[in-house]
Structure 1
């Protein structure tokens, strides 16, 4: 057969008869076996593909035409259930128009002989579109790709500026030559100078531009700047209506109305801006800011379809920005609250040395409930506390404040540590902060060689004795965490002579994924007082040695007492 051909292994039907029937049709016809290998190709399909029929035989569609989306999965479905299907495919072929994308519409049917499935037949017609239709189709595909990629590329973190940067990097150059995101100032930010009357102040959170425009963006305004928008600017109109504002800046009057202020007109013109779209970034709770898209130079003006895509992208990004804003709001409040509660403890006596550190976990983790305190007692002793409220965020910080306040009230009653924990456990259970916590209490008498220690689920303290030259863990029994109402606490007497360093910590210092906590805690016996005897240096060394890679906040406290007589001072 001239153009018609068939595989060496003949199929269970007459290809010659098939060729006589359909060889003259203008539709491309191909017959494939159950492995989707070509058995027959008519002259029309040979011409459509630009490949001789003989080169099809025994090969799959993807092997013959690797640059088209032929829908082989769809053909397998036809073979599986026998239900005919239609598909529109596109791609590039070696035919005369091989440099341009082509489009085909095909119908596929299962072939059966004597009740046995022997293959699938495809009938293909080329779809001829005008240049304009093809451009529109290509643009529609690019827009769909852009919207799909936004799912993976925007909102990857809970940081607002990162989300804004991801958005502008996505739309440049796919949708604009230059893009900005401006947002309202957060309500927990440090105050800045007020905007002039009638002006709206936003903070530029992100900016991206094509290589040709990057040299001129400095005059346009950089990331991090506060920008005041005049009353009739495109930004103010966009936010007032919660609708996109589209402007073709074909004269200085239009450019002036769209600009943030008259001073920016020169910079806008220098960039060659001729078309802009301002899209609101808003959620049901209200506006968060705006996405600004700009085209310059030879780029076409924005079309209605461009605005639809921009609005969809802005809507998706606004949800991510709202999550980031809420997280930043809560994180800032919790951090400020925790910092206020973790201020340096007031020294109970001139002969008591205390050093503390608080190291927050990675910024991506919400602030925790770690806390410490040193409380002078009326009888000359002092109480040292280290606690860790379970959980993170504002609730944990508020619960931490609750625990600390109750502890200070109970400390005045001069109870032994285990009785303080029992009272605290009952009070917390009744008041219901809904946050369990661990707590370690140590009562120190600087005239005694012993201290009283009690634990509510907290890790044991470490004692560093420079005279004896050793470091040991406190051998104490740990009761249940506070807030459970279970009680069962005990006070243990531990040797702690003047000059001995008491080291207290939260689990963030030692807890590591995949390692037994007892192993981690025993590693603290490697601690040693630095040569200069500084408690601050001791804490710095401890954090450097054990705090690397921590997944939770870390609070540490080191203290020691000295007898007032000079001959007994231990430095």
Structure 2
């Protein structure tokens, strides 16, 4: 309907005529203009709303009845297409401020002379019983739980966080106490073996309504292992892969639901009277259970509660499975990376070394950071620092491949840029399908110079005990390895005998929202005293720059021992 079809001028009918026709009817009748402002209200609607007719006029439905879901969107639809609609609404009015009421209305568009002048509505109150109202409210709460589950559960790839999100969602909407218990991970050894016939789970999350939180210590602690005897509700739930509902009215029933008799007094103190145990199951098998408990004056669980609990458990199980798979792969990749980055031995007796590897937070998959120190002939040694792009198991395996190829090429005594060229070609032709950055530094025996080449890596830092630190940004940066572009160059760096060569990966300096040059520039603030400990230097570096890192960090510091250069009276 075109906008100009709506009447902007006062409606061409007399409210006194409407009053003569409609004041006597028992149904509530209202006439609205095209902006849904009241033009007329009959006495029956005045009584339904609990507001005098004069206070309606000139105001919209939402302004007159702010506590009512009046469905103005549906009214506008009637104005737009002219199709009559029946609308059900509910809410609170001044006539009964503490009781939710329900109305059924029929709405028609009013047209005079081809112009749309407003809307007429005939409203009747629907008298819902107390039981019906409770059921409607319960259905509304259940729908709200399901609507919000997707946004509130599975926000991270951490299992315990996901479990905590689940119990926080269902308390108090579905239960007075909620717990999630999961099977211990395969990669972590259990505290003690479970006896035969006993099911052992780890309590990952626990929540209760405020009135019961002070008593939860008797229920058990988050993180502890719980043994369930044969025949317990949890065992029966997982065996049948279906919810188990129990009324806990007798001590025998409480004992059957509890892990052991020592919990009976605690359960009684909490006032538990009904429980639902719901399996957390995915296609590959069960992950654990969701336990819901009601206590005190709360009603027992109804069939609808069990249906909602099962739906929520099914959704949460998918998120838990993702988190479990991530934790498994993260642990294996981390162990693989650590084994490959075991503390290297000094390549020559006159070389001092220190290395550190700091994995990223568990919310980030382990990366492909790596370093190596390779002894060369004539007392020289090769320092290497690299970072395979990507994360996870594939990155850790690719890192191992790069490291092996580099060790093979280092035996050929090539300058750093030639090593990178050959490594780039080998990887591009048949190596891992992951690019990597790499920095090579061949340090001479005297410890006063090194040849450096970079494949997309950040520049090294030279830390002089007297002159301070400088970022060696004169090093030419070529493309990352694995691209096949080549074009690497070797840069000669000269320094004092007791200077420290410091290499690092980008996790040390990259910060969201900050230019990388600014971050790298802060490394100029690094200091070390004459003869200072390299281990102490790296500890200070990680303490200062490690917090807030979003990626793995690998750092390496090396220095050539030169007693003559450090002794003032040496001849």
**TM-score by shorter chain over 0.5:** yes
Q: Is the 8 A contact 2:194 2:200 kept in 1?
A: yes
> Which has the higher mean CA deviation after the structures are superposed, 449-458 or 148-157?
148-157
Q: Is the 8 A contact 1:562 1:568 kept in 2?
A: no
Change (3 A) 1:403 1:268: same
Alignment map for 1:223-242 (pairs within 5 Å)? 223-242=222-241
Q: Is the 8 A contact 1:530 1:538 kept in 2?
A: no
Q: Which residue is 1:301 aligned to?
A: 300
Structure-2 separation of matches of 1:137 and 1:86: 19
Structure-1 separation of matches of 2:274 and 2:473: 72
Structure-1 separation of matches of 2:76 and 2:433: 57
Aligned partner of residue 158 in structure 1, secondary structure: coil
Q: Is the 8 A contact 1:378 1:412 kept in 2?
A: no
Q: Is the 8 A contact 2:27 2:124 kept in 1?
A: yes
User: What stretches of structure 2 of length at least 5 have no aligned partner?
Assistant: 1-8
Structure-2 separation of matches of 1:183 and 1:40: 63
Q: Which residue is 1:3 aligned to?
A: none
Cα shift readout 1:538-568 (whole Å, capped 9, x = no counterpart): 3234344444543322221111102365876
Superposition deviation, residue 123 in structure 1: 1.0
Q: Is the 8 A contact 1:473 1:522 kept in 2?
A: no
- Answer yes or no: is 1:75 the counterpart of 2:75: yes
Q: Which residue is 2:5 aligned to?
A: none
Cα shift readout 1:482-519 (whole Å, capped 9, x = no counterpart): 11122222222221453121111112223344444344
Q: Which residue is 1:157 aligned to?
A: 156
Q: Is the 8 A contact 2:501 2:557 kept in 1?
A: yes
Q: Which residue is 1:41 aligned to?
A: 41
Alignment map for 1:262-301 (pairs within 5 Å)? 262-301=261-300
- Answer yes or no: is 1:100 the counterpart of 2:99: yes
Structure-2 separation of matches of 1:341 and 1:542: 22
- Answer yes or no: is 1:62 the counterpart of 2:62: yes
Q: Is the 8 A contact 2:447 2:560 kept in 1?
A: no
Superposition deviation, residue 133 in structure 1: 1.2
Superposition deviation, residue 332 in structure 1: 1.6
Q: Is the 8 A contact 2:498 2:530 kept in 1?
A: no
**Root mean square deviation of aligned Cα:** 2.3
Alignment map for 1:392-431 (pairs within 5 Å)? 392-431=391-430
Q: Is the 8 A contact 1:371 1:386 kept in 2?
A: yes
Alignment map for 1:192-203 (pairs within 5 Å)? 192-203=191-202
Structure-2 separation of matches of 1:479 and 1:186: 44
> Which has the higher mean CA deviation after the structures are superposed, 158-167 or 484-493?
484-493
Structure-1 separation of matches of 2:32 and 2:561: 93
Aligned partner of residue 99 in structure 1, secondary structure: strand
Alignment map for 1:463-542 (pairs within 5 Å)? 463-466=462-465, 471-473=470-472, 475-530=474-529, 533-542=532-541
Structure-2 separation of matches of 1:253 and 1:546: 59
> Which has the higher mean CA deviation after the structures are superposed, 536-545 or 25-34?
536-545
Structure-2 separation of matches of 1:570 and 1:372: 37
Superposition deviation, residue 160 in structure 1: 1.1
TM-score (norm 2): 0.93
Q: Which residue is 1:220 aligned to?
A: 219
Change (3 A) 1:561 1:100: same
> Which has the higher mean CA deviation after the structures are superposed, 83-92 or 354-363?
354-363
Superposition deviation, residue 89 in structure 1: 0.6
> Which has the higher mean CA deviation after the structures are superposed, 186-195 or 500-509?
186-195
Aligned partner of residue 346 in structure 1, secondary structure: coil
Superposition deviation, residue 421 in structure 1: 1.6
> Which has the higher mean CA deviation after the structures are superposed, 538-547 or 308-317?
538-547
User: What stretches of structure 1 of length at least 5 have no aligned partner?
Assistant: 1-8
Structure-1 separation of matches of 2:11 and 2:557: 87
Alignment map for 1:115-126 (pairs within 5 Å)? 115-126=114-125
Structure-2 separation of matches of 1:478 and 1:422: 13
Structure-1 separation of matches of 2:108 and 2:328: 60
Change (3 A) 1:264 1:526: closer
Aligned partner of residue 379 in structure 2, secondary structure: coil
Q: Which residue is 1:17 aligned to?
A: 17
Cα shift readout 1:62-84 (whole Å, capped 9, x = no counterpart): 22111111111221222122222
> Which has the higher mean CA deviation after the structures are superposed, 54-63 or 410-419?
410-419
Change (3 A) 1:98 1:475: closer
Change (3 A) 1:308 1:452: same
Structure-1 separation of matches of 2:531 and 2:73: 74
> Which has the higher mean CA deviation after the structures are superposed, 379-388 or 530-539?
530-539
Aligned partner of residue 344 in structure 2, secondary structure: coil
Aligned partner of residue 464 in structure 1, secondary structure: strand
Structure-2 separation of matches of 1:223 and 1:161: 10
Change (3 A) 1:364 1:116: same
Structure-2 separation of matches of 1:305 and 1:35: 41
Q: Which residue is 1:29 aligned to?
A: 29
Aligned partner of residue 419 in structure 1, secondary structure: helix
Change (3 A) 1:30 1:258: same
Q: Which residue is 1:327 aligned to?
A: 326
Structure-2 separation of matches of 1:523 and 1:249: 64
Aligned partner of residue 213 in structure 1, secondary structure: helix
Q: Is the 8 A contact 1:13 1:113 kept in 2?
A: no
